[in-house]
């Protein structure tokens, strides 16, 4: 199973119109493809005005078929034209592969916390083992399920942990549990050398549709 994401930016000249057409695009894509393609915006940790679409695909073959279906859809082409000048580039497409799942991850949450870091040279095997271990630890201690993905296309050697939440209250409880968990903090220290210094990023996304 793969995770495809496309990220672009709402034009600062048309903030309300840009968000409206971004939501409309996501809803139309979901309708054409027959499955949920959420529209997200960045709240913290990344450029404001960022819009990200995410879709799970079985393979590159199925992804290609989905893209061909959208390209042939007149309604999609009309929306792309409508978005010109309101949603701007650069457009960043990324494809990741699911490595592991812990607990029962939500797929319809209002918020998504994403932690990403780039594996250091010569540490691929060790980092994968550590990443799965800390994913399982967090799920077990917080009660929040999560997923681990690795980039197939995008920044090389990047791992991302993803968890979804229904409310800020759940986010606060999740963050508090991690801060109070010294075993978790120790695991972070133990895994520090496995990743490229300065490559870690933590994002909080809010679902728009």
Give residue-wise pLDDT tens across range 123-170: 999 999 999 999 999 999 999 999 999 999 988 899 999 999 999 999
Number of independent structural domains in the chain: 2
154 neighbors 5 (Cβ within 8 angstroms): no
- pLDDT at position 40, please? 98
Residue showing tokens 């999740």: 174
| Residue that finishes a domain, picked among 64, 94, 124 | 94
Asked if residue 45 and residue 23 are part of one domain, the reply reads yes
Please indicate, yes or no, whether residues 87 and 24 belong to a single structural domain of this protein: yes
For residue 158, the domain's CATH number is 3.30.70.100
User: Of 47, 67, 94, which residue is a domain's last?
Assistant: 94
CA distance 76 to 66: 12
DSSP class of 63: H
Q: What is the pTM of this model?
A: 0.94
Print the domain residue range for 130: 96-207
Do both 85 and 142 map to the same domain? no
Positions of the chain with pLDDT lower than 70, given as ranges: none
pLDDT of residue 155: 86
Q: Is 155 exposed, middle or buried (0-12, 13-18, 19+ CB in 10 A)?
A: exposed
Tell whether 156 and 189 lie within a shared domain.
yes
Instruction: Write out the two tokens for 99.
Output: 């490595």
Structure-token pair, residue 188: 């972070």
């Amino acid at each position: 199973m793969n995770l495809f994401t496309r990220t672009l930016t709402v034009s600062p000249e048309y903030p309300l119109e840009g968000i409206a057409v971004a939501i409309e695009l996501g809803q139309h894509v979901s309708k054409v493809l027959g499955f949920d393609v959420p529209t997200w915006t960045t709240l913290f940790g990344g450029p404001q005005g960022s819009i990200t679409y995410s879709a799970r695909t079985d393979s590159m073959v199925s992804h290609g078929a989905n893209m061909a279906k959208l390209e042939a859809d007149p309604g999609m082409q009309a929306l792309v034209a409508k978005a010109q000048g309101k949603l701007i580039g650069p457009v960043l497409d990324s494809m990741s592969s699911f490595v592991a799942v812990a607990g029962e991850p939500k797929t319809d949450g209002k918020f998504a916390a994403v932690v990403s870091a780039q594996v250091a040279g010569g540490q691929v095997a060790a980092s994968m083992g550590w990443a799965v271990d800390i994913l399982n630890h967090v799920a077990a201690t917080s009660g929040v399920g999560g997923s681990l993905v690795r980039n197939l296309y995008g920044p090389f050697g990047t791992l991302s942990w993803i968890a979804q939440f229904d409310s800020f209250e759940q986010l606060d409880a999740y963050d508090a549990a991690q801060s109070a968990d010294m075993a978790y903090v120790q695991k972070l220290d133990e895994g520090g050398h496995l990743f490229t210094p300065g490559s870690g990023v933590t994002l909080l996304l809010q679902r728009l549709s």
